[in-house]
Each structure stands twice: as C-alpha cells, then as structure tokens.
Amino acid sequence: MHAVLVREPGDVDVLEWGEAPDPTPGPGEVLIDVAATAVNRADLLQRQGFYPPPPGTSDILGLECSGSVAALGDGVTDWSVGDPVCALLSGGGYAERVAVPAGQCMPLPDGVDVVTAAALPEVACTVWSNVVQNARLTAGESFLVHGGSSGIGTMAIQVAKALGAGPVLCTVGTAEKARACTDLGADVAINYNDDDFVARAKDATDGRGVDVLLDIIGAKYLAANVDALAPDGRLVVIGLQGGARADIDLGVLMRSRATVAAATLRGRPVEQKAAICRAVVDDLWPLVAGRRVRPIVHTSMPMTEARDAHRLVADSGHIGKVLLTRP
C-alpha cells in the first residue's frame, strides 16, 4: 500500500508519500480501506520525534480514519466486509489501509458522509471521555474550553451546549475565531491576547467561576485555571502546549474542593478505548444525527499534500479539523 512516511524526525519536509507494508488484521482486529484521516496536533509532535507511538502500534501517523471494512481478523463478529466505519486509532491513519481493534470501529452517524466522518473519532472520544465521563458536566453547569476553534474546542462547545450546560465559554487568539465559536453556540469567546480569561469567567458566572474547564495548555495556565474554577469545579488537562511542570497551591484546591485531572486517550488500554467508543456511539452519535453536534471541517486535501496540511495546523490557520483524503 501507500502511506505518508516520516523519513526521519523533523520539519514538514520529512513527510513523503511512499510504499509501506500492507497491514494484516490480527485476532479481534478489523482491516479498514481508508477513505480519509485527519491531522491532529499530536501528529506534528510525532513527526518531530517527540511523541512516539505506544509499543506494538503502527509508526505511521494518524490517530483516526474513516473508510470501509476490507477484512476481518479471527473472532470478529460484529462487523462485515464492506461496512462503512470510522475508527479511533493508535496510529496508521495516514495510509491506504490500517488494522484496528474491532472495538475502536464505530458506524458513521446518520447523515455524515464517509469522508467527513474522519473528522469525528478523536475529538468525539476525547471530549466525551474527559468532559462527560470524567468531569461529569451536566445541564445548567458552566463550562470553559481553551482553544475554542481547535478540533477539540469546536466539538467541546457543541457537546456542552447540547447537554444543556451554560454559560459555555472558550478562549481564542483572533476575532475571526471568536465569531466562529459563538456561531457554534459558545456564549462567551474570550480573546486571550486582549482579555484575562479568569476575570471574564467570573464575570460570566456571577463571580462563582466555571464548573468544568477543559484545558489544552497545561503548566502555563494551571494556576489561572484553578482560579477560574467554581467551588467543586473540575479541571481536566488534556494538552501541554504551555509545558508540563508547574506548582499548584493545594490550599486553593482544598478550599474550593476542586479536582484537577489529566489524561491522554492514545495510551489507554484497548478495552477502555472500546468502552469510550461504545458510549460515543450510544450517546453522542444521536446528537450528531439530530444535527445538534456537527463535524467542523476547515479543509480537506489529499494525503499526498500532508506537508501543506501540517503547515496549516502548525500555524493555527484552521478552525475545526483538517482532513487528508486517500488520493
């Protein structure tokens, strides 16, 4: 098969469309004929050599894909050859074919075409597992997500609104991104270049702070994130764009009974990923089918143009997801 290969760790020029061994599905796995994949910020780190794939997984980039089932490994009974699917991957999506544990395959939500479905698995599973399952965001609670226009942010805003949370706040770096986020349903979009998000979060919540905060920045925002929480608030850190090491004032946490959690999806055991995918199919896909949550696709380009796609995401020139289609 053909795949986007990383010649050696480095900048976008190390990406090359070339030949790779065909994957074969092991027991409990499904082989997918890939229609499309999507660029995640983690792919940029992996390309640079900073985010190696978990042991035993493909070293080809790509944490999600859509396509159709091409073959079944031993013991797989819940999928048939030809079924349209999208899938959460540990790697291997930037290719014509990929093998994945059957539990990480999901049917396409009603009304979503097979290429667009590649925009969903990573953000759907990340937002559902962290915001709903971990932080237990419920109707009437306030919510803030950093990077509202990111792939993660565009999904988190819509999920929070669909659950009846409010006010829903986000941070962004430009006025155009602020407009995109309010169009998606955010009640308040805070430009972090002009405004203090803690003060704005307090203003929007009568001084209480937010009940749930989904953070992609890490160390640089930790103290401010804790300050922005309401009593019994829950902060979930899923990205470290602002570093991994920071001090935390446990006294502040104790007084507000706040929780700070952190998680990655990629390294979770297969059984946990399968459980997350089941919850997404049961509880989030109906919201997508009902058009209350939409996949937000900034642009789509062939896999052979992966260099341009990585440049776009590195420069944060996108709103939502950047798709790579099979040429």
Ligand X SMILES: NC(=O)c1ccc[n+]([C@@H]2O[C@H](COP(=O)([O-])OP(=O)(O)OC[C@H]3O[C@@H](n4cnc5c(N)ncnc54)[C@H](OP(=O)(O)O)[C@@H]3O)[C@@H](O)[C@H]2O)c1
Q: Is 179 in the site for ligand X (CB under 6 A)?
A: no
Residue from 128, 92, 152 nearest 287 by CA: 128
What SS3 state is found at 34? strand
Q: Is 156 in the site for ligand X (CB under 6 A)?
A: no
Nearest approach in angstroms of CB 53 to ligand X is: 14
- Give the x-and-dash track for 186-215 against ligand X (CB under 6 A): ------x-----------------------
Nearer to ligand X by Cβ, of 71 and 270: the residue is 270
Window contacting ligand X (CB under 6 A); options: 19-27, 67-75, 131-139, 169-177? 169-177
Nearest approach in angstroms of CB 147 to ligand X is: 3
Please state, in angstroms and rounded to a whole number, the distance separating the CA atoms of residues 225 and 204: 15
Q: Is 184 in the site for ligand X (CB under 6 A)?
A: no
Bridge partners, 18 (sequence order): 3
Q: What is the dihedral of CA 108, 160, 261, 241, to 10 degrees?
A: 80
Nearer to ligand X by Cβ, of 95 and 181: the residue is 181
Q: Is 173 in the site for ligand X (CB under 6 A)?
A: yes
Give the CA diameter of the chain: 58
Given 33, 122, 187, 227, the residue binding ligand X (CB under 6 A): 122
Residue nearest to ligand X (CB): 239
Window contacting ligand X (CB under 6 A); options: 105-113, 148-156, 180-188, 226-234? 148-156
> Which secondary-structure segment (H or E) carries 160?
helix 151-162
Please state, in angstroms and rounded to a whole number, the distance separating the CA atoms of residues 117 and 124: 11
Given 69, 112, 201, 217, the residue binding ligand X (CB under 6 A): 217
Joined together, the tokens standing for residue 30 give 């499904």
Bridge partners, 203 (sequence order): none
Residue count of the chain: 327
Residue from 220, 249, 237 nearest 144 by CA: 237
What SS3 state is found at 81? coil
C-beta separation of 108 from 86 below 8 A: yes
- In the chain, the amino acid numbered 276 is I
Nearer to ligand X by Cβ, of 177 and 326: the residue is 177
Given 131, 137, 265, 303, the residue binding ligand X (CB under 6 A): 265
Nearest approach in angstroms of CB 317 to ligand X is: 8
Joined together, the tokens standing for residue 309 give 């796609």
Nearest approach in angstroms of CB 78 to ligand X is: 25
Please state, in angstroms and rounded to a whole number, the distance separating the CA atoms of residues 281 and 261: 24
Residue reference for tokens 């667009």: 116
Residue reference for tokens 């890490």: 218
What SS3 state is found at 217? coil
Nearest approach in angstroms of CB 265 to ligand X is: 3
Q: If 0-12 CB within 10 Å is exposed, 13-18 middle and 19+ buried, where does residue 255 land?
A: exposed
Nearest approach in angstroms of CB 74 to ligand X is: 30
Q: If 0-12 CB within 10 Å is exposed, 13-18 middle and 19+ buried, where does residue 262 land?
A: middle
| Count of residues touching ligand X (by CB under 6 A) | 28
Window contacting ligand X (CB under 6 A); options: 20-28, 37-45, 198-206, 278-286? 37-45
Given 46, 90, 104, 171, the residue binding ligand X (CB under 6 A): 171
Q: Is 40 in the site for ligand X (CB under 6 A)?
A: yes
Q: Is 104 in the site for ligand X (CB under 6 A)?
A: no
Q: Is 150 in the site for ligand X (CB under 6 A)?
A: yes
Q: Is 51 in the site for ligand X (CB under 6 A)?
A: no
Question: Applying CB under 6 A, which residues contact ligand X?
Answer: 40-42, 122, 126, 146-147, 149-153, 171-174, 177, 192, 216-217, 238-239, 241, 263-265, 313, 316
